[in-house]
Amino acid sequence: MSFLVKIREKAREVNRSVVLPEGTDERVVTAAAKVVELGIARPIVIGNKEEMERVANDLGLSLKGVEIVEVKNSSKLEAYAEKLAELRAKKGMTVEKAREILLNDPNFFGAMMVKMGDADAMVSGSDSPTADVLRAGLQVIGTRPGIKTVSSVFVMELTERQETYGDVLLFGDCSVIPVPTAEQLADIAEASVITAENVVGMQGKVALMTFSTKGSASHPDIDVVIEAGKILDERKVNFQYEAEVQADAAIVKSVAMKKCPNSQVAGSANILIFPNLAAGNIGYKLVQRLAGANAYGPIIQGLAAPINDLSRGCSVDDIVNLVAITAVQAAE
């Protein structure tokens, strides 16, 4: 069964509410209607009711089952402004400033809905850059108790050579932390294993990748990855990992046999951690384009409640699928 079929099934079972702040986008309105039709989640769309109904009418869609929230008419606006001011008080936020942000930035209003328990999760980004969606999540939702780092993974579903590499690999972090420290790399590895279990139902085997395998080169950038492995040793994590491996040693058995024959992970890793955002972002896009893999994500991990980011070039189905993934995360 494909990843998508499984995730949609799981989403139907958990039946969570997901807020979509970008109701001005036709794709979002269409996706919300489809989410209801498929029973994937209970969508809440932020936007102008009349405008959305006009769009739905033009497209022949029914908005039955889609909750529409108009920020300026919301009875929750004042309570949200007060809470946002409280959350960001250390940064000098006032209630007036918070109200202005909520009226003008639907990502913040959506994040506040999640914070205040009026929605279980949020999916945004069809009309805003990644950093704006992430900032709303970081500033309003914050990290889970005990977790310092927010990061992300892509679920890479292979369309060929599955017999060699498996159906699904996770790539992290391809969208959040530009230059992770050793501690952040260790956090990304830990969070990715949890996402693998909860979202994909897969037991993670982690490769912390770089441009050397077990001492074949030396460089300060490699030291960061080696250090991340040591941090995982100290944390005594309960999953398998190997630090300082090249990509081929991570996933190709014959190469692993030569470069690190004693590793339990090399040659069969299913979670690939990149040393920085440049490598991760380039890496997932190359595998998607050149190998024809389906890339689902970025799935943001480490927030106290799930908020996920769409690409601005997303299709209606991309939105529906990310809503399903997000709903499943919300049920963790």
* Residue choice 48, 74, 143, 268 for contact with ligand ACO (CB under 6 A): 143
Q: Is the dihedral of CA 253, 255, 257, 260 positive or negative?
A: negative
Stretch of 19-27, 100-108, 172-180, 221-229 contacting ligand ACO, by CB under 6 A: 172-180
The pair of three-digit structure tokens given for residue 140, joined into one six-digit string: 């309003």
Q: Which stretch binds ligand ACO (CB under 6 A): 22-30, 77-85, 174-182, 203-211?
A: 174-182
| Residue 108 dihedral angles phi and psi, to the nearest 5° | -70, -40
84 binds ligand ACO (CB under 6 A): no
Per CB under 6 A, does 137 bind ligand ACO? no
The residue range among 107-115, 175-183, 215-223, 258-266 that interacts with ligand ACO, by the rule CB under 6 A, is 175-183
| 186 is a site residue for ligand ACO (CB under 6 A) | no
* By the rule CB under 6 A, 41 interacts with ligand ACO: no
Our finding on whether 134 is near ligand ACO (CB under 6 A) is yes
124 binds ligand ACO (CB under 6 A): no
Q: Does 107 bind ligand ACO (CB under 6 A)?
A: no
Task: Select from 31, 113, 122, 138 the one that contacts ligand ACO (CB under 6 A).
Answer: 138
Nearest residue to 29 via CA among 324, 316, 326: 316
Type of residue at 100: E
182 contacts ligand ACO (rule: CB under 6 A)? no
Give 303's DSSP letter. Answer: B
- Cα distance between residue 76 and residue 277, in whole Å: 37
Do the beta carbons of residue 301 and residue 152 sit within 8 Å?
Answer: yes
State yes or no: residue 195 binds ligand ACO (CB under 6 A): no
Closest CA to 195 of 139, 130, 150, 231: 150
Q: Could you tell me where the DSSP H helices lie in the chain?
A: 3-14, 26-38, 49-59, 77-87, 95-104, 106-115, 130-136, 162-165, 182-195, 220-235, 247-251, 253-259, 277-290, 316-330
The length of the chain in residues reads: 332
Q: In terms of DSSP bridges, do strands 205-209 and 121-124 run parallel, antiparallel, or are they unpaired?
A: unpaired
Q: Which one, 3 or 284, has the nearer CB to ligand ACO?
A: 284
Q: Scan residues 279-318 and list those touching ligand ACO (CB under 6 A).
A: 281, 298
Min dist CB 150 to ligand ACO, Å, is: 4
Query: In terms of CB distance, is 152 or 246 closer to ligand ACO?
Result: 152
Contact status: 18 vs ligand ACO (CB under 6 A)? no
Q: How far is the CB of 263 from ligand ACO (least distance, A)?
A: 29
- Choose among 16, 15, 13, 45: nearest CA to 28: 45
Segment (H or E) for 295:
strand 294-301
Number of residues in contact with ligand ACO under rule CB under 6 A: 15
C-alpha span between 252 and 179 (Å, rounded):
27
Query: Is residue 45 involved in binding ligand ACO (CB under 6 A)?
Result: no
Shorter beta-carbon distance to ligand ACO: residue 177 or 208:
177
Residue choice 30, 107, 124, 175 for contact with ligand ACO (CB under 6 A): 175
Residues that bind ligand ACO (CB under 6 A): 130-131, 134-135, 138-139, 143, 149-150, 175-178, 281, 298
